[in-house]
Structures are given as structure tokens and as C-alpha cells.
Amino acid sequence: MIPSPASSGNPHLLRLPNWLGDFILALPSVHLYQGWLNRRAPLLVVGPPALAPLAPLLLPEIEFIPAPSSPFSLHSIFKNRHVSSATLFPNSLRAALETLPAPYRAGFSRPLRDYLLTENRPRRTTPYGYVHVADQYLGLLEDLGLPKGKAELPPPPTLPKPQDAPAQPYLAIFPGAAYGPAKRWDPTSFASVIRDLQKSHSLQPILLGGPADIEACRAVAQSLGSPITDLSGKTSTLELAHWIAHAHLTLCHDSGPMHLAAYLRKPAVAIFGSTEPAWTGPLGTSVTVVRHKVSCSPCFLKACPIDHRCLTRLTPEEVLTACEQRLNQK
């Protein structure tokens, strides 16, 4: 069991996931842990350096430590800060190596790494389907002695509007997905929905994404065939949050921007392909999920070995209907 903070007052540490979406799904667990400590000991959080700009937004009043390139580089922090407890959400061997100096180390059970932990627990399962990732993290903490928590995101901050945002309502479009092409909808289908929303709601389309999404955004722009603002690769992760916060609607895949929209309680439509909403879907009620269920989904593959039917059979009309319904709820 996680040692009581009253026993030493030394810091406790949570190693969070590396993907933005999973990072956000871990927030209910972070706040549960912080509440359990009740200022009796500080809580430290280790996560990927790429998310450091977002840390003050997602983790106010919690110290964020970017994970260095070498898993052993964290050892001096553990020793100098006298970290008494480390709980790992990633299932990786690297996460276990990072936390070796902590006297107590706990995480999900996994062959070949259990011997590196002082305590491990199996992932929660159910005979009726998937256990959501957010509930997996909360379940791990409960199995290690913390109170039962709820998969509810903390209240979001108020973010200022981007300086270069248009005066008219805009549609934020994220056609990329870092996971792989099995998550990405066809650019011509994106373009079809954009045209219809321009006509019906006078929304100015804005293409957004990181450097890895430039090609996907360019493909949508070419399919659209008319001028469109393309900011892919030109904004930081934090700036993307500001764009989502003030969008009339966000259109994206099962991706980090989807979870950011959910965290900010902003309207969005998220397209699912090879993955499963019951496992990694958005928390809350601000995001509408659209998918075309086929016999081979969810496969969780990064690239489809056949005909990408889970997404090619999802029509622009279906996605447009979801967008219209979400806009009408504003």
C-alpha cells in the first residue's frame, strides 16, 4: 500500500503517461492523490518534456518534472528530494527504471518489470467490455489504498483568445493523429464537412496541429480547393489549447486535441477509427464521438492492413450531422 504521508512528510511522486490524451485522462487520479495528501506531503509529477508548457494549465499548484532522455537521470532528484513513494501509470520498463531509488514503487503488473517494483496490481477488467483508461488509473490508486475516485476532470481555467484569432466564429480542425494513419479520416471528407459548415454557420476554418500534422493539414487544404488558414506546425501545445478554448467547434480524431476540448469543456466532434471510445473516449459531455462500427474494430492497429473500412465507411453526412447537433447545443 502507498505509505501514509504522515509517516515522513517526504514527497510522493506520480509518473504520468507520455501521450497528451492519456495524460489528461490521468488528471482525475492526480487530483485524487493531491486531495489524499492534503498538504501533508508535496506531490511531484513526472511527464514528457513536450507537455511541460501545458503543465501550469493542467496541473496548477503541482510541481511538474520533465522526464529526461535517460531513465537514470531522475535518480538524483529522487535522492536529493528524498522521494518516499512513486506510483507509475505507464506500463513501460523505462518508467520502472526511472523510479528505482524510491523505497516504494508501485504500478500495473507486467512481465519482466514486476521485479523492479515493490508492489504491483493487475489492470482492472470486466466481462462486459472495456474499463476506461481513466478508471484504470483510479482503480490502481484504489487498489493501493487510496479512496475510490470518480473519472471527472477538474475545473478548467479561463484562457485568453489567441491574438491572431479571427473576429468571426471559427472552426478548429485537427486532421492529424500522432498514433498512426489508422486513426485518420480522408482529407476529401474533411473538406466536404468544412464546406458545409462554412455555408450553414459561416464558420472560418482554421487548420491546426503539430509539426507531424503538417502533411495531413496540407492534404485537407488541397482537397478544399479554396483559401484556408493553416497553422499546423506554427503553434505550441499551449497555444493549441487557446485556439480550442475559443473555437465555435473543434473537429478532430481520437487524439490529444479531443481530450483538451473535453478538459476545457468546449464543443467538439471526434472521429474514431481503429480505437475504442469505451476505453479512451473523452470525459464529460462536451465532445461528441462519431464512428462507423465494423466487425474488425477496434483493432488498435496504427496502420490498417486491409481497406480502412472503419473510416472509409464513415460518411461526411454522418460527421456533418454530429457537428450540426453539437452546434445547436451551444
Domains of the chain and CATH, by start: 5-143 (3.40.50.2000), 170-328 (3.40.50.2000)
pLDDT of residue 109: 97
* pLDDT value of residue 291: 96
- Average pLDDT over the chain reads 95
Residue 46 has phi, psi (to 5 degrees) of: -110, 135
pLDDT at 100 over 90: yes
Counting every residue, how long is the chain?
Answer: 330
Burial 105-124 (b: 16+ CB within 10 A, else e): bbbbebeebeebbebbbeeb
d(CA 274, CA 288): 17
pLDDT at 181: 87
pLDDT in tens, 272-283: 999 999 999 999
Measured distance CA(12)–CA(97) in Å, rounded: 17
Model confidence at 324, pLDDT cuts 50, 70, 90, reads very high
pLDDT in tens, 279-314: 999 999 999 999 998 999 999 999 999 989 999 999
Amino acid (1-letter code) at residue 281: G
Q: Where do we find the cell 489524499?
A: 36
Instruction: Name residues whose C-beta falls within 8 Å of residue 288's C-beta, 6 or more positions apart in sequence.
Output: 268, 269, 270, 322, 325, 326
Distances from the Cα of 143 to the Cαs of 5, 132, 149, in angstroms? 17, 16, 11
Could you give the percent of the chain with pLDDT greater than 70? 100
Q: Is the pLDDT of residue 16 over 90?
A: yes
Residue 182 is given by DSSP the state G
**Taking 70 as the threshold, does the pLDDT of residue 330 lie above it?**
no
Given a cut of 90, whether residue 9 has pLDDT beyond it is no
* Angle, alpha carbons 210-211-212 (nearest 5°): 90
Task: State pLDDT tens for residues 102-112.
Answer: 999 999 999 99
Q: Return the percent helix, strand and coil in the chain, to nearest 5.
A: 40, 15, 45
Residue 312 has, within 13 A of its CA and on its CB side, a CA count of 7
Torsion sign over Cα 311, 312, 318, 324:
positive
Assess whether pLDDT exceeds 90 at residue 116. yes
> What is the pLDDT at residue 223?
97
Per-residue pLDDT of 145-202, as tens digits, reads 999 999 999 999 999 999 999 999 999 999 998 888 889 999 999 999 999 999 999 9
Residue 92 clears pLDDT 90, i.e. is over it: yes
- Residue 16 C-alpha cell reads as 504520468
Confidence at residue 301, expressed as pLDDT on a 0 to 100 scale:
92
Residue 229 has pLDDT above 70, yes or no: yes
Strand partners, 47: 66
Global pTM value: 0.96
Interstrand relation of 43-47 and 85-88 (parallel, antiparallel or unpaired): unpaired
- What is the C-alpha end-to-end distance of the chain, expressed in Å? 45
